[in-house]
Structure 1
Amino acid sequence: MDNNVLLLFLFFLLILTSSAAATTSHFQDLNVEETIAATKLKPTQTPKHLQEEEQEEEKWKVKLFHRDKISSNAAAKDHQTRFNARIQRDLKRVASLLHCLNHNRSYSEPEAAFGSDVVSGTEEGSGEYMVRIGVGSPPVYQYMVIDSGSDVVWVQCEPCDKCYNQSDPIFNPTHSASYTGVSCSSSVCDQLDTAGWGCHEGRCRYEVSYGDGSYTKGTLALETLTLGRTVIRKTAIGCGHWNQGMFVGAAGLLGLGAGPMSFVGQLGGQTGEAFGYCLLTRGTGTSGSLQFGRQAMPLGAAWVPLVRNPFFPSFYYVALSGLGVGGLRLNITEDFFRLSDLGEGGVVMDTGTAVTRLPTLAYEVFRDAFVDQTTNLPRASGVSIFDTCYDLNGFVTVRVPTVSFYFSGGQILTLPARNFLIPADDVGTFCFAFAPSPSGLSIIGNIQQEGIQISVDGANGFVGFGPNVC
């Protein structure tokens, strides 16, 4: 063969190889068999047997547990039952956020009837991820729900006039050497929102209501918390004497919001207003992690801007600018995701919401692009809030297009396949894990966050993704 012909042949072969590699990079494999197998939970030890010595050894770091690991009855339920319960909790959470963030305008999410009334102390309570923290001196270890959209730290307390069932003994402040009630004249009490708060016998009172009908009421106190090997003194916590309806056996809630009364806000300079978390991937049987301080800021992360909403400063908004499917950015204007001057719209990162919500028109373009690139997969009927599902029964793996978030500043987050195509049952029905919202508010939920190392740098105004999975 002539050398020129040979060189020309090799040149075209290189182009074809590069083109194939580029095309392949815009698709990824979803292991169907492995994902379905992971929906079958094994019986777990009861919380009583998850000992404190299992805590992370690193300073300022604790393990994160999914509710299915904490709940003694979760393993006895089939995946479809747990899936349905997760969606009903999600509907209530989203309705609550929209009610709050849309200036208390009335809102009714489609299929809201899918939910059920809150029943105190049952498996239907709120809370997806929990940490185990010591309260008081000596420390009494309690499971607490983490919530990036909440600003108050609280636990149920004796005497309990109204309490739901929890896994651990209810905290008794009279047994703690470090418990101090907060007076009404204290500057700490002044930081509470005045609406619904008050004074009783000179002590500062607090009250928090949640969108699913749950609430906690009691007195504000300063107390010592033990986080792994770290002792944090004089933390303002709510000591709840009247509590309703929450938390799958958890004792209370660890607010991680951006406000001054959250755990992050109270730590302040001790941790540089920084924390990071890894939400464990469903079905892996592993624990996630929650870490505070600058050491939680990994090198090589994709950093995207936080957007402050002066009307709702507790929430973490991010500057999302677009969406992509199969390596192509879609024709969706950034205006869909912009926070208005009146504090409306925008994109909230929320650990308490499961399914990412997008404004309806943006969602439809996004969904249709995904459907157009998955015509080789057999479709299934919609399930609950999901209108795009597939029958993958009998498949070992399937090839699916990549799904990406585009952020202001040029950063792109491409999701693992398991974070956007999820099993709705244990026989092969998988659904595109996004949903439309008639509101202008978008929410990036925990399904899309799972397995990704996420860091919040509150001092400098950034959220980091990666660089490693977790």
Structure 2
Amino acid sequence: MAVKNPNSSLRRLEKYYYRVVVIIILVLHPVCYSVAATNINNNHHSGFSTHLIRKKSLNSPFHNHRKNKVFRRLMGPNTLQSPLTMDENDGEHLMKFSIGTPPVDIYAVADSGSTLLWTQCKPCDGCYKMKHAMFDPNKSSTYRKVPCSTKECSFLEDNGFCSLPKMVCTYYYSYVDDSISKGVLAKETIILTSTSGKPVSLKDIVMGCGHNNSGSLTENQMGVIGLGRGPLSFISQIGPLVGGKKFSHCLVPTDTDPKTASKISFGNGSEVSGDGVVTTSLVDKALFQDQYLVTLEGVTVGNKFVPFSSQGNLKLFEKGNMIVDSGTTLTYFPQDFYERVVTQVKKTVNPKLDPVYMNIVLDDPTEGTQLCFKTTKNLKGPDVTMHFEGGAKLKLTAEQVFFEDPENKLYCFGMVNTSRSDTIGEDQVGIYGNNLQGNILIGYDLDRRVVSFKPADCIKMSSSNISSSSNGAGATHPSYFSTYLLCLLFINVLLSQIIYEFFY
């Protein structure tokens, strides 16, 4: 009879415990996955991005295939995604998002110069014509009117009042371009689409349901999304959810392929950093409390510095003389400063070219005039550097500040003047509009109270994969891997201890 191997029982036990270990790992693997996923879902401080579709993009619902003009739009890095078009009628940027349950698509003017988010709502007897269907709050299960007694209603200040007998908060907003919106303040769910294609819901966002709206708004514009500094602005409301009250955008040049999409970023990941960044402080003024007001010390045209201030007008020395505004298509300078700037521009341009002053609005010089030159060739104009407070110098190339007007066979300077007292005339405040923001990454940070500028290739940023350069949607969050690996490591240590105790 063969002698029984004393190690055979031990080997059988080893196989048994090996199977047990494998089963335990398979059972606990989904536990680790669940823990890691829960950790990500509970992180409310990741930023997001929205896509901005140019008004002539094939992706735009307003695209006219019979025309082939090119326009600009916004962009920036990070997570949530929503198309935004530039309106073919007036050059405003339209940000796409959805509201309500079930969701309804909205195309609203992205305006950093105002605070309220509003859209036209049914019933709407005094409303302007739109291409898209109007939002009906009666069909949304998440729509709630805001009572008069709430702090949200008090934020409206002079723009709000109480509607009797139901004590509902009512708003009345008017804009410089004579547009108005009157309606009910409400809370609703706002939905944006992430770059991974997944919808992201932002609940209880305060908005205006406009029942009486008029003015210069076009049929493409379903309302306004205020990105300003006030407490009711979209930026202020979502700040606690996305890691801070901050956002950034980058406009592509006007001659870019209209199929190229743009993006605007909010919260964490929207910061403007790296080589070439210049930063200036925000300034508070009672008349411009909702605007991003900065101090422009002057501009350099070619090699000549032109100060914003001039002798005999001490008011021009005040801080906070320039509004950075994505909702204004042109860049405006007060009359005195504008005249001195264009005088230097004319000295640097070929003297053989005849200067022409064009009215921004036909037959209305009070809306502003623009310096142009009669030429069909690419104008070799000077570079222009904007000097902001704190040593921030933003250089604009000739290609950024001169624009072709093929219809009139002109090349025009991108800065204009105005004598309208209801815009900048009496206050001596200029507007840095979106026509001079091409290929510049601009970041607005309300928490740090600064605006940052960085020369950038906005086309490249637009075409790059957001998830490859940030922790937004479309990329696996690094904290997911760390949580998952730590869980597996814990299981491994535990099982190793059990095996050690058994065999040794």
Normalising by structure 1, report the TM-score. 0.71
Are 1:294 and 2:268 an aligned pair?
yes
For 2:210, which of 240, 244, 261 is the aligned residue?
240
Seen in structure 2, the aligned counterparts of structure 1 residues 131 and 188 have a Cα distance that, compared at 3 Å, is: same
Task: Report the alpha carbon displacement of residue 432 of structure 1 after superposing the two structures with TM.
Answer: 1.2
Q: How does 1:219-368 map to 2 (within 5 A)?
A: 219-229=184-194, 230-245=200-215, 246-270=217-241, 271-284=243-256, 285=258, 286-300=260-274, 301-333=277-309, 337-339=316-318, 346-368=321-343
Task: Report the alpha carbon displacement of residue 227 of structure 1 after superposing the two structures with TM.
Answer: 2.0
Contact 2:128–2:219, Cα closer than 8 Å, also in 1 = no
2:493 paired residue number: none
Q: Distance in 1 between matches of 2:409 and 2:188?
A: 49
1:8 paired residue number: none
For 1:209, which of 174, 190, 200 is the aligned residue?
174
2:145 paired residue number: 181
Are 1:410 and 2:391 an aligned pair?
yes
Contact 2:309–2:317, Cα closer than 8 Å, also in 1 = no
2:480 paired residue number: none
The amino acid that maps onto 1:298 is V
Task: Report the alpha carbon displacement of residue 191 of structure 1 after superposing the two structures with TM.
Answer: 1.5
For 1:445, which of 412, 433, 436 is the aligned residue?
433
SS at match of 1:295: coil
Task: Report the alpha carbon displacement of residue 66 of structure 1 after superposing the two structures with TM.
Answer: 4.0
Seen in structure 2, the aligned counterparts of structure 1 residues 206 and 125 have a Cα distance that, compared at 3 Å, is: farther
Contact 2:56–2:68, Cα closer than 8 Å, also in 1 = no
Q: Whose Rg is larger?
A: 2
SS at match of 2:282: strand
Seen in structure 2, the aligned counterparts of structure 1 residues 288 and 336 have a Cα distance that, compared at 3 Å, is: farther
Q: How does 1:83-122 map to 2 (within 5 A)?
A: none
Contact 2:283–2:295, Cα closer than 8 Å, also in 1 = yes
Task: Report the alpha carbon displacement of residue 238 of structure 1 after superposing the two structures with TM.
Answer: 0.6
Task: Report the alpha carbon displacement of residue 444 of structure 1 after superposing the two structures with TM.
Answer: 1.0
The amino acid that maps onto 1:424 is D
Contact 1:386–1:431, Cα closer than 8 Å, also in 2 = no
Task: Report the alpha carbon displacement of residue 64 of structure 1 after superposing the two structures with TM.
Answer: 1.8
- 1:225-254, CA deviations, whole angstroms, 9 ceiling, x for partnerless residues? 012233211000111122224233222110
SS at match of 1:268: helix
Q: Distance in 2 between matches of 1:457 and 1:64?
A: 20
Q: Distance in 2 between matches of 1:71 and 1:420?
A: 30
SS at match of 1:257: coil
2:346 paired residue number: 371
Q: Distance in 2 between matches of 1:194 and 1:152?
A: 13
SS at match of 2:285: coil
Q: Distance in 1 between matches of 2:64 and 2:138?
A: 34
Task: Report the alpha carbon displacement of residue 338 of structure 1 after superposing the two structures with TM.
Answer: 3.9
Task: Report the alpha carbon displacement of residue 161 of structure 1 after superposing the two structures with TM.
Answer: 2.4
Contact 1:274–1:458, Cα closer than 8 Å, also in 2 = yes
SS at match of 1:459: coil
2:451 paired residue number: 463
Task: Report the alpha carbon displacement of residue 158 of structure 1 after superposing the two structures with TM.
Answer: 1.6
Q: Distance in 1 between matches of 2:91 and 2:135?
A: 19
1:18 paired residue number: none
The amino acid that maps onto 1:416 is T
Q: How does 1:370-449 map to 2 (within 5 A)?
A: 370-376=345-351, 378-384=353-359, 385-393=368-376, 395=377, 397-426=378-407, 428-438=409-419, 439=425, 440-449=428-437
What 5-or-longer segments of structure 2 have no aligned partner?
1-45, 72-86, 195-199, 360-367, 420-424, 459-504
1:129 paired residue number: 93
SS at match of 1:197: strand
Normalising by structure 2, report the TM-score. 0.67
1:160 paired residue number: 124
The amino acid that maps onto 2:228 is G
Taking only aligned residues, the RMSD between alpha carbons, in angstroms, comes to 2.8
- 1:350-378, CA deviations, whole angstroms, 9 ceiling, x for partnerless residues? 22222222222222221111111112552
Q: Distance in 1 between matches of 2:91 and 2:137?
A: 24
Q: Distance in 2 between matches of 1:156 and 1:418?
A: 39
Q: Distance in 2 between matches of 1:450 and 1:248?
A: 26
Contact 2:62–2:220, Cα closer than 8 Å, also in 1 = no
Contact 1:299–1:467, Cα closer than 8 Å, also in 2 = no
The amino acid that maps onto 2:403 is I
Q: Distance in 2 between matches of 1:148 and 1:429?
A: 31
Seen in structure 2, the aligned counterparts of structure 1 residues 156 and 127 have a Cα distance that, compared at 3 Å, is: farther
The amino acid that maps onto 1:146 is A
Q: How does 1:10-29 map to 2 (within 5 A)?
A: none
Identity level (%) = 30
Deviates more, 1:154-163 or 1:218-227: 154-163
- 1:109-157, CA deviations, whole angstroms, 9 ceiling, x for partnerless residues? xxxxxxxxxxxxxx89766101110111232111111111111111111
Seen in structure 2, the aligned counterparts of structure 1 residues 339 and 124 have a Cα distance that, compared at 3 Å, is: farther
Seen in structure 2, the aligned counterparts of structure 1 residues 294 and 167 have a Cα distance that, compared at 3 Å, is: same
Contact 1:298–1:467, Cα closer than 8 Å, also in 2 = no
Seen in structure 2, the aligned counterparts of structure 1 residues 183 and 212 have a Cα distance that, compared at 3 Å, is: same
Seen in structure 2, the aligned counterparts of structure 1 residues 387 and 453 have a Cα distance that, compared at 3 Å, is: closer
- 1:305-332, CA deviations, whole angstroms, 9 ceiling, x for partnerless residues? 1112134310111121111011432355
SS at match of 1:235: strand
Q: Distance in 1 between matches of 2:255 and 2:62?
A: 16
